[in-house]
Amino acid sequence: MEEDLTKYETIGLGSGIYFGNLHPSIINIAKNFDNSPQRVFIFSTRGNPIHGKYHGQLKEILNTKGKRIVGEISFKGYDGTGPFLIFGGGNIGRPNERDLSQSISFIRKALPEYCIKDYYKLLDNRLPVIDGSTNKYYYKDGKNLFLLRGDIVSINQNLCTGCGRCKTVCPMGVIELIDKKAIPDKELDCTLCNLCCINCKERAITLHYNWRDTINVAKRHKNRKSL
């Protein structure tokens, strides 16, 4: 069944690049648009270092349909074609973490009304761990106090069956079971040991961190005397 796109104010269209263009299904979607003044952003992954005019045909069609193009972005993507295949393919590992953070910046700039503040960044991840207490992330924004959860330990609530294994194995007491769902309640105490992830049969848990975060974990816990 094809999705009715006329009900949306903003639409993102994107795919890999194949023979110098976006996937034909994306071009067809645009060709079938009506003339309502929707906003569209375009994204793609490609094999070549620069994306040149790969979005050109789509942009032309969108212009004839009266759409407002709010931005476009393209990243290198793993390329299993061409001569690099003898080395295992081109652009191995792309898109990578840097591409992901660039795409977040892109959306923040192009469509700020859809974005919430990046409280994790505002916190700067420098909060110290207080020994013997439950360490939670709070961020004060004006009169509002926000408890932040899921920035480091993300638990897919749709997959979680509430079995409680993650809570049992976590040496730091990070995870709580609330209404039969695992919640990363005290993320500041997380040491990124990975035990919760490997013990979750539903593969519901993902840890998000880069090398800076691992240094911050060490800094936060350096004065800890007990678990």
User: Is 46 or 220 the residue whose CB approaches ligand FMN more closely?
Assistant: 46
Choosing among ligand SF4, ligand FMN, none, which partner's interface includes residue 18 (Cβ < 5 to 8 Å by kind)? ligand FMN
Q: Which residues pair with 46 in a beta bridge?
A: 76
Interface stretch with ligand FMN, choices 72-80, 130-138, 181-189, 200-208 (CB under 6 A): 72-80
* Stretch of 33-41, 44-52, 101-109, 168-176 lying at the interface with ligand FMN (CB under 6 A): 44-52
Binders of ligand SF4 among 133-162, rule CB under 6 A? 153, 155, 160-162
Candidate residues 107, 183, 188, 204; the one interacting with ligand SF4 per rule CB under 6 A? 204
C-alpha distances in Å from residue 167, one per residue of 38, 80, 175, 181 = 45, 41, 5, 11
**Three-class SS state of 175:** strand
Please work out, in degrees rounded to the nearest 5, the angle formed at the alpha carbon of residue 103 by the alpha carbons of 100 and 105: 115
In this structure, are residues 22 and 58 in contact, taking their beta carbons and an 8 Å threshold? yes
Q: Which stretch binds ligand FMN (CB under 6 A): 34-42, 75-83, 207-215, 219-227?
A: 75-83
Q: Which is nearer to ligand FMN, 95 or 173 (CB)?
A: 95
Q: Tell me if 208 contacts ligand SF4 by CB under 6 A.
A: no
- Token pair of 114, please? 């859809």
Q: How many CB atoms lie within 10 A of CB 35?
A: 9
Query: Do 153 and 136 touch, CB atoms closer than 8 A?
Result: no
Residue 81 binds ligand FMN (CB under 6 A): yes
| Cβ-proximal residues to 35 (8 Å cutoff; 6+ apart), any chain | 65, 66
Task: Pick between residue 6 and residue 81 the one whose CB is nearest to ligand FMN.
Answer: 81
Question: Can you give the binding site for ligand SF4, defined by CB under 6 A?
Answer: 153, 155, 160-166, 169-170, 172, 174-175, 182, 190-196, 200, 202, 204-205, 207
